[in-house]
Structure 1
Amino acid sequence: MSLFDPPAPLAERLRPQTLGEVVGQRHLLGPGKPLTRALASGRLGSFILWGPPGVGKTTLARLMAREVGAHFIGLSAVSAGVKDVRDATAEAERLRGRGQKTILFLDEIHRFNKAQQDALLPHVESGLLTLVGATTENPSFEVNPALRSRARTLVLEALTPEDVRALLDRALSDPRGLPNVTAQPEALDLLARLADGDARRALSTLEVASSLAEPITPQAITEAFGRHLPQMDKGGEDFYNLISALHKSVRGSQPDAALYWLARMVEGGADTLYVARRIVRMAAEDIGLADPQALRLAVAARDTAEFLGSPEGDLALAQAVVYLSLAPKSNSVYIAWKAALTAVREGESLPVPLHLRNAPTALMRSQGYGQGYAYYFDDPEGSFRQRYLPEGTELSLYRPGDEGWEGRIQERWRKLQAAHHAERQSK
């Protein structure tokens, strides 16, 4: 082998040749499991393989084709287009004439737009192509419903540290791998943890580390691995799951968890201003009037993040999520606001009572605008007696919570309600 004909990467050399060599995915490949049953029947339908990077989606597609004796055509939606689909279809037509089935493997299927996905439909429906799509994104959002309904979705799971460790042991013993390389057990344990369930990254790191030290040490693994960036698809399901976890940790008064999810988002490359806006929303929705300072601090954190940028401004976001986590909680204004919107959307658009109307001109005043309005500071009792809702409308929207500032003003709110009710009854 010459300099101009380098060996394939370790991950490619160790790609499983049989289903028995596949590590992980026992929920699909164990005895009686869905994929095992489908392959045993020989009647393989179309599938969408959904899972994180490096868990064997491409490998499974190749092995599926091999198990049922089908011709395998591999395309990547990153670079392929409708013309490539037409070429694959033409090839499948020729092979069908010889009695052979074709599996079209489309990696990153979520990268195909609607028109490109629709181009696959008639060939999948006719059975000319058995489609196996692979995606790291939630198919519910990224794959057309028509195509999704014709393909069974299989969820692949990230490999466990034990799975990755077994794969690393195989890499150091298999003749196709690194049979002349040794590694300290603690180095392999470290890599199994760092890999985040990604077999490809684990094997690539092991290959680099083998050129740095013999035997491979934890220090060599750390150097080869580089900076650990948590996986996060910035606009996909992972991103919104992290936002959800952050929000629910704040709501649950768990500052440690809130800091962890915030750090996951920041390290994953999230737009810090978007995160900051969501933190402001948390202050308004979940802390509310239990601590009126919470919203001010959240807005200040958002302004600081914009002014300083990352990483300096990230500290302000951390301060905000800790404060919001520890703050008393109230969603009473949030509930009242939703109820008010419902009342407006589902009710009649009744006129504003005359005494509440704006009366800046003589003509308006002659029409009764503002007439009879009781100014609180001149006539407190009259102010309580007058109506503030349209005639015939009765609403009870806001109810103060028990925590923080709202807990302290509950008694005042009850007295105000009682005073309004008593004065209107005596009117």
Structure 2
Amino acid sequence: MTYRPLADEIRPQTLDEVVGQRHILGENGLLRRIIKGGNIPNLIFYGPSGTGKTTVANLIARRTNRPLHRLNATTASIADIKAIIGDIGTMLAPDGVLLYLDEIQYFNKKQQQSLLEFIENGKITLIASTTENPYFYVYNAVLSRSTVFEFKPIEAADVLPAVDRGIRLMAQRLEGEAVCEDGVREHIASACGGDVRKAMNAIELLMNSARRQDGKLLVTLEDARMIAQRSAMRYDREGDDHYDILSALQKSIRGSDPDAACHYLARLLEAGDLVSACRRLMVIACEDVGLAYPQVIPIVKACVDAANMLGLPEARIPLADAALVMATAPKSNSGESAIDAALADLRRGRTGDYPRHLQNIHADSAGQEREQGYLYPHAFPHHWVRQQYLPDTLVGTRYYEYGDNKTEQAARRYWQEIKGE
């Protein structure tokens, strides 16, 4: 008997059997209505693996009278596309074809362009899937001729019925009765990270390795934890997940949520990405805490240095200290705002000559030195004297605005008193 993976055998045969994706496949979901209507447009399915993209594409194929061609962009070539195009209009495909193109992000621009003419005239109905953001990876001309649907990670409660089906099917295969300890089903459903395929793979391993006793297959929670460990992690250093986790970490610290900061830092460290965690924490120190607590920059630098010296798993401790110090610190982005405003002026051409008194004394030719007129602040009370520093064309321009935190407001009051403002 030919081996068939459980994840493939349990694949839904109707839309009602598809788990999750209620926002597009629920009773009034737009994608469900499109599929039931039978007039299938070009579609792009975007979302994590194991969330039903291929399953839905198969269900769509059954509703059309067109032959289905499957290509995986990781291995397909222009020759494969030409072979499909060659069938169009022949007895093999008189009304065109339905092309399911998996991982379309791996097709280069030329490969995607080769489909355009036939997508345009309707001879090819394209259903493409991708785990990456299609607005970054799919050629604009293809994207504009397609409707994008996002498939979201499946909630544990929605995965549970699929887990039960998988356990029943494996018990039938193995000709035994499955006896699962309390918590096994729920653990698999939650530990798969919204990926039904991972859940089915875990069930297959668990059931095949289960101890037999009086015709019963005993599945323990300890075994379930062992098999499903780390499987909830979705992380690809080159993909969207990488940037999503980093973004979530920074926004959580910026939003002063220490618990969320710990969660997203833990996800980075569990994936072993020490470098990205260290770099992003340094960015946050400068960008989001900044002048509200300027001492945080050397503090975070010390934590990062300690983490790199220690390595994982010990590195988690100084990095957690850094994340929590920043999550609970006052916040200011006044430094970033100031430099960005100055850069924006430069890029608009707002510059000007240096004031004469700020130039390097060596700017004059030998023997033609002129008095600069520079006033040395340290020679004046409070080490300050009024003089022009910006170019003439920018006099009066203000880039830096004091933040409303205690540190910057104290500096503001100090200089207002000295400058008499």
Query: TM-score, structure 1 length as denominator?
Result: 0.88
Structure 2 unaligned blocks of 5 or more:
212-216
- Residue 139 (structure 2) aligns with: 144
SS in 1 for 2:389: coil
- Residue 30 (structure 1) aligns with: 26
- Residue 243 (structure 2) aligns with: 240
User: How many angstroms apart in 2 are the aligned matches of 1:29 and 1:61?
Assistant: 13
Structure 1 unaligned blocks of 5 or more:
422-427
Q: Which moved more, 1:120-129 or 1:407-416?
A: 407-416
1:255 to 255, 258, 281: 258
1:378 aligns with 2:374: no
Q: Which moved more, 1:316-325 or 1:359-368?
A: 359-368
- Cα drift, residue 27 of structure 1: 2.7
1:83 to 79, 83, 86: 79
Trace 1:57-96 onto structure 2 (pairs within 5 A). 57-95=53-91
SS in 1 for 2:219: coil
Trace 1:131-170 onto structure 2 (pairs within 5 A). 131-170=126-165
| Preserved CA contact (<8 Å) 1:359 1:369 | no
| Preserved CA contact (<8 Å) 2:46 2:131 | yes
The residue type equivalent to 2:34 in the other structure is A
Tell me: CA distance 1:105–1:231, structure 2 relative to 1, closer, same or farther (3 Å): same
SS in 2 for 1:215: strand
Query: TM-score, structure 2 length as denominator?
Result: 0.89
SS in 2 for 1:104: strand
- Residue 323 (structure 2) aligns with: 321
- Residue 336 (structure 1) aligns with: 338
- Cα drift, residue 359 of structure 1: 0.9
| Preserved CA contact (<8 Å) 2:171 2:177 | no
- Residue 214 (structure 2) aligns with: none
SS in 2 for 1:303: helix
SS in 1 for 2:361: coil
SS in 2 for 1:74: strand
| Preserved CA contact (<8 Å) 1:183 1:215 | yes
Trace 1:123-272 onto structure 2 (pairs within 5 A). 123-174=118-169, 178=173, 180-184=176-180, 185-210=182-207, 211-213=209-211, 214-228=217-231, 230-270=233-273, 272=274
SS in 2 for 1:311: coil
Identity, % of aligned pairs? 36
Tell me: CA distance 1:58–1:415, structure 2 relative to 1, closer, same or farther (3 Å): same
Tell me: CA distance 1:102–1:410, structure 2 relative to 1, closer, same or farther (3 Å): same
Q: Which moved more, 1:318-327 or 1:352-361?
A: 352-361
The residue type equivalent to 2:163 in the other structure is L
Tell me: CA distance 1:26–1:254, structure 2 relative to 1, closer, same or farther (3 Å): closer
- Residue 358 (structure 1) aligns with: 360
2:12 to 16, 30, 33: 16
SS in 1 for 2:416: helix
| Preserved CA contact (<8 Å) 2:198 2:231 | no
The residue type equivalent to 1:253 in the other structure is S
Report the count of equivalent residues: 412
SS in 2 for 1:172: helix
SS in 1 for 2:127: strand
Q: Which moved more, 1:187-196 or 1:214-223?
A: 214-223
Tell me: CA distance 1:276–1:369, structure 2 relative to 1, closer, same or farther (3 Å): farther
SS in 1 for 2:149: strand
User: How many angstroms apart in 1 are the aligned matches of 2:384 and 2:193?
Assistant: 65
Trace 1:339-418 onto structure 2 (pairs within 5 A). 339-346=341-348, 348-360=350-362, 363=365, 366-368=368-370, 370=372, 372-380=373-381, 384-391=385-392, 393-418=395-420
Tell me: CA distance 1:366–1:237, structure 2 relative to 1, closer, same or farther (3 Å): same
The residue type equivalent to 2:193 in the other structure is D
- Cα drift, residue 324 of structure 1: 1.4
Residues 114-163 of structure 1 deviation map (CA, whole Å, 9 limit, x = unaligned): 11111221221122211111111110111111111111111112222122
- Cα drift, residue 400 of structure 1: 2.6
- Cα drift, residue 112 of structure 1: 1.1
Tell me: CA distance 1:396–1:64, structure 2 relative to 1, closer, same or farther (3 Å): same
- Cα drift, residue 32 of structure 1: 3.8
Tell me: CA distance 1:18–1:328, structure 2 relative to 1, closer, same or farther (3 Å): closer
- Cα drift, residue 279 of structure 1: 1.5
- Cα drift, residue 365 of structure 1: 7.9
| Preserved CA contact (<8 Å) 1:247 1:282 | yes
User: How many angstroms apart in 1 are the aligned matches of 2:328 and 2:405?
Assistant: 12
User: How many angstroms apart in 2 are the aligned matches of 1:334 and 1:317?
Assistant: 23
- Cα drift, residue 382 of structure 1: 10
- Cα drift, residue 33 of structure 1: 2.6
1:287 to 273, 286, 289: 289
User: How many angstroms apart in 1 are the aligned matches of 2:224 and 2:276?
Assistant: 35
- Cα drift, residue 388 of structure 1: 2.1
- Cα drift, residue 165 of structure 1: 0.9
Residues 318-351 of structure 1 deviation map (CA, whole Å, 9 limit, x = unaligned): 2211121222222222222222223333354322
Tell me: CA distance 1:383–1:27, structure 2 relative to 1, closer, same or farther (3 Å): closer
SS in 2 for 1:159: coil
SS in 2 for 1:389: coil
Q: Which moved more, 1:253-262 or 1:133-142?
A: 253-262
- Cα drift, residue 377 of structure 1: 2.8
Q: Which moved more, 1:69-78 or 1:377-386?
A: 377-386
- Residue 424 (structure 1) aligns with: none
| Preserved CA contact (<8 Å) 1:55 1:158 | yes
User: How many angstroms apart in 1 are the aligned matches of 2:399 and 2:28?
Assistant: 56
| Preserved CA contact (<8 Å) 1:171 1:177 | no
- Cα drift, residue 96 of structure 1: 5.9
* Alpha-carbon RMSD: 2.6
